[in-house]
Amino acid sequence: MSEIKTIGVAGCGTMGAGIAIVAARAGFRTVVFDTRQEALDNALKQTDGFFAKSVQRGKMTEEKKATALANLVVTTTLENMAECDLIIDAVYEDLKVKHDLFGKLNKICPPHTIFASNTSTLSITEIAAGSGRDDRFVGMHFCLPAQLMKLVEMSPGLNTAEETFAKAWAACEAMGQRPVKTKDNPGFILNYFLIPYNNDAIRLVEAGVASPADIDRAIKEGLGYPMGPLELLDLIGLDTQLLLCEAMYGITNEPRAACPPLVKRMIAAGHLGRKSGRGFYTYEGNAMFGS
């Protein structure tokens, strides 16, 4: 296999854009694919803004910013992913969607290309089964926001080759991330705890126990967390939380993983979180407002 020099990111939502920032910042040529040109344009704008703030804070030079931006290529043509040595999917938490993506990529990419999924709930082995190269497939779950959080949960599938895992692990470290190895288990480490925990916070709001702001304040002050669960849910997106719950509950039948009804009502009203300007809080630009 060739050394990993070019990293592809398939899916350019909040998570995909963050992973692309991580890869480009680390010096990898980074090819980002999405079917929506608007999503790609937003990602480029977000990336430029993030790097500009990094320069202002003294964490990056203007020269390194220019280099990182030059490393980044966006495309709506899947065939342009053929040059990638490692491709990380950041599309919807839906097995059929991921199988369709990797099935197409398998026909496009050379044999040495490693496939990885950023899934946080689905089985790596099951996703790999539809990839056409389950020996060259690995789970790489980045934490949100990927450009700020260093942890990556690395999970081999049942048929993942040791060499594949080692190369993906090395690429993860080369991106400046801190990988941990997990078994291919529902939720891995973080979401095993986080999905039920976030749902419990939603149910407190649903029951009128306290306002989102007071729940978040209690968690941050009492437990020392940097972000409260309702703030985090607004960042993740309520539509994404629904998909996570459906995937986790479908696998485990754990009652606390079942999506609270409030989430579906909020989605129906268009209150998705930061990306829609309103969730548990309201947003204007980077400013957050809430009771």
Q: Which are the catalytic amino acids?
A: 120, 141, 153, 191
Dist. CA 239–CA 285, nearest whole Å? 20
| Per-residue tokens: 175 | 């991106």
How is the chain split among helix, strand and coil, in percent rounded to 5?
Answer: 50, 15, 35
Looking at residue 73, what DSSP letter applies?
E
CA atoms within 13 A on the CB side of 138: 28
DSSP string, 97-156: HHHHHHHHHHHHS-TTPEEEE--SSS-HHHHHTTTS-GGGEEEEEEPSSTTT--EEEEEE
Backbone phi and psi for residue 139, each to the nearest 5 degrees, phi listed first: -90, 130
d(CA 105, CA 16): 17
Task: Give the phi and the psi of residue 281 in degrees, each rounded to 5.
Answer: -125, 170
Rounded Cα–Cα distance for residues 201 and 190 (Å): 16
d(CA 43, CA 38): 9
